[in-house]
Structure 1
């Protein structure tokens, strides 16, 4: 019985502690080749086009747009924005449109290491990986991996792929308007369109463009510059 318990404890330690730490350390230096979501979408028949590009070769307009759209306090928090979580909870409890409170760090942890879903187990693992990447990667690397793992449409992953597929340019040539358009579809990249967007996405894109100006002027993206 003692041996069984010891083996169970050792297995849990490897799965929940040693394994995640090792994976985070490896991806600190090595680009993640694929993510669980990419594999799932490929099996669903949506294809897989993923091209890695260093954050230093991505137009600054895109990180600014993503911070404006997804996580205005990205450079300030340590992985979790509890104020945003409280607002999201209050919004959802009031019966308004469902709103998430996940930070870019949390989304990156989920995208790279975990499967889609809302179970408590997955959320717990997401929190653990978020802590690990905040400690082991730092903000610039988190943003770099995020830029390269985002789903921008069916089979379209990462800034470079999206820039080429939608605008015919490399990620280093994206304008602020194009970056805002990409950021605008992120809540529903399989539903909303970058090219010929509907009224809502077009309006959201303009709003993100204005907010991106604030991000630039106030240095809110300084941690990834």
Structure 2
């Protein structure tokens, strides 16, 4: 029993040490721009393990040098309640669970002749940043729980503007394309600050599956969703 108790104590100490490490990492991000994220490093390793060359395009730009159109488009597309929640949008998560359960219950034949239904989550921009910055890509309840904790820490230690700035500079926008500046140069041959409303909306719509839409630039869904997002962007609140 003593051995079990010692192992339990060690596990507890390791957990506390890990949380302290996360707190220090996040606190440092208030003044230090992260050079890479856990997701980016995982993608780079996958490229190298596959025997191909390392493709990595990223250039950090300050919040002020990112188009207002892109900020509004990304918030409208990914997390319209961004400025009001504490890191987790519980109502959005509940709606996502209900919608996904409904889609999963439909017979496959019901989807024929229509655009394939997409299973969506209720993750906020803060949760997405927490996952990409510090966590692995595995899908487990333990990792999801840690994501919630990190999202709350991000909201306590950083302001909304800084969270959005880090997100826009690190999110994936294609194979080896990370951040707003790299995406603007890659798809539109211009800087992130020069993006127009339609260009910004198109980039924001790509975010759930950027590699797929990079290969399918003429996707009817991409075009239709861009038009819908353009109509909503003007009502979106920014930090």
Normalization by structure 2: what TM-score? 0.85
Gaps of 5+ in 1: none
What's 1:68 paired with?
76
Q: State the shift of 1:83 in Å.
A: 1.3
Specify which of 12, 15, 23 is matched with residue 21 of structure 1. Answer: 23
Match for 2:13 among 6, 10, 13?
Answer: 10
Distance in 1, Cα, partners of 2:225 & 2:30? 33
Unmatched tracts of structure 2, length 5 or more: 48-53, 105-116
Distance 2:170 2:199 in 1: 18
Pick the aligned partner of 1:169 from 190, 215, 228.
190
* 1:69-108 mapped onto 2 (5 Å cutoff): 69-95=77-103, 97=117, 98-108=119-129
Is 1:181–1:194's contact at 8 Å kept on the other side of the alignment? no
Residues 213, 26 of structure 1: CA spacing in aligned structure 2 closer, same or farther, 3 A cutoff? Answer: same
Matched, 1:150 2:171: yes
* Residues 1:120 and 2:141 are matched in the alignment: yes
- Runs of 4+ with >2 A deviation: 1-12, 193-197
Deviations 1:65-115 (A, max 9, x none): 011101111111111111111110111111253111001111111111112
Change (3 A) 1:198 1:5: closer
Pick closer, same or farther for the CA change 1:86–1:162 going to 2, 3 Å.
same
C-alpha distance in 2 between matches for 1:105 and 1:185: 18
Structure 1 residue 54: Cα displacement: 0.8
Task: Name the CA distance, whole Å, in 1 between partners of 2:206 and 2:9.
Answer: 48
**How much has 1:168 moved relative to structure 2?**
1.0
Deviations 1:162-197 (A, max 9, x none): 011111111111111111010011111111138833
Tell me the secondary structure at the aligned position of residue 193 of structure 1.
helix
**1:48 equivalent in structure 2:** 56
Give the Å deviation of 1:3. Answer: 6.4
Is 1:59–1:174's contact at 8 Å kept on the other side of the alignment? yes
Higher-Rg structure is 2
RMSD value over aligned CA atoms? 1.8
Give the number of equivalent residue pairs.
Answer: 217
Name the SS of the counterpart of 1:157 in structure 2: coil
Partner of 1:192: 213
Q: Is the 8 A contact 1:66 1:183 kept in 2?
A: yes
Task: Out of 39-48 and 80-89, give the one that drifted further.
Answer: 39-48
How far off its partner does 1:4 sit? 5.9
